[in-house]
Amino acid sequence: MSLLPKLNNVPKYDLTIPSSKKEIKVRPFLVKEEKIMLIAVESQDPKQIATSVLDTVKSCIMTDVDSTKLTSYGIEYLFLQIRSKSVGETAKLLFKCTSCQEENEVTINLNDIKMEVKHAPNVIEITDNISIEMQHPSYISLANSESLTKGTPTEQIFSIIKEAVVSVMTENERIDMREVDSAEFQEFLESMTQAQFQKVRDYLETIPKLTHTANFKCIKCATDNSVLMEGLQSFL
């Protein structure tokens, strides 16, 4: 029999999922979740960090939500909002001065971090009779991609594209990408011209992401610095 009392009085907060606009309720991190996150960040393993972020968000959502369908930017936004409710609205981060390379501790207000959103059609014309249907990839699909977390920059781009393509459409049929193996899809991408491939990459640039510009004066040489931060890992 347990001797200690149960701590069940956990506050709940309302948040909105960016992609679906669904209203949900969340709770703050518990100590066990923050411990897992700290261990993941200290490991500097992208896959471990991504998995910890996803598991933490799933644990803190109190509403019935299919987490496998949450987009990468949706998870990042929810994580940052939950973090601000859990350990405070500011975070202290280290930045190197661009002039003298001295490390500076800078306090970031998490409420100042914005979600950069660009709108673009999700159907891309590759030729007169071939089009590609795109989507914003789910966070879990990106987190589970070995080439995305450990691959070269080129391999990472191809991995994101693979997760973003829903179907390839011709005049006569719609080919579901779930029925196409990786080797065939790779061959399809590599057969594109540079102009065609750039259209696909341009769509990826429209995927929303967390952005913030950190401004600080170096404590050593007094140089004014401005650092653009993008993506969740910039704020961990």
The CA–CA distances, whole Å, from 121 to 21, 131, 165, 178 equal: 19, 12, 13, 21
Residue 206 CA from chain centroid, whole number: 13
For residue 58, give the amino acid letter: K
pLDDT digits (tens, 9 = 90+) for 158-200: 888 999 999 999 999 999 999 999 899 999 999 999 999 999 9
CB 134 within 8 A of CB 203: yes
**Closest by CA position to 170, among listed 122, 121, 133:** 133
CB 232 within 8 A of CB 212: no
Confidence of residue 227 (pLDDT cuts 50, 70, 90): very high
pLDDT digits (tens, 9 = 90+) for 20-60: 889 999 999 899 998 998 999 898 888 888 889 999 999 99
pTM of the complete model? 0.82
| C-alpha to C-alpha distance for 206 and 147, rounded to whole angstroms | 22
CB 70 within 8 A of CB 61: no
Please check the confidence at residue 133 and state whether its pLDDT lies above 90. Answer: yes
Q: For the chain, which residues make up each domain, given as ranges?
A: 10-88, 118-204
| C-alpha to C-alpha distance for 113 and 127, rounded to whole angstroms | 39
Q: Give residues with Cβ within 8 angstroms of 138, minimum separation 6.
A: 68, 69, 70, 71, 72, 163
| C-alpha to C-alpha distance for 47 and 17, rounded to whole angstroms | 23
Paired strand residues for 71: 138
List strand residue ranges (DSSP E) for 72-169, in order.
90-96, 103-109, 114-116, 123-125, 131-134, 165-169
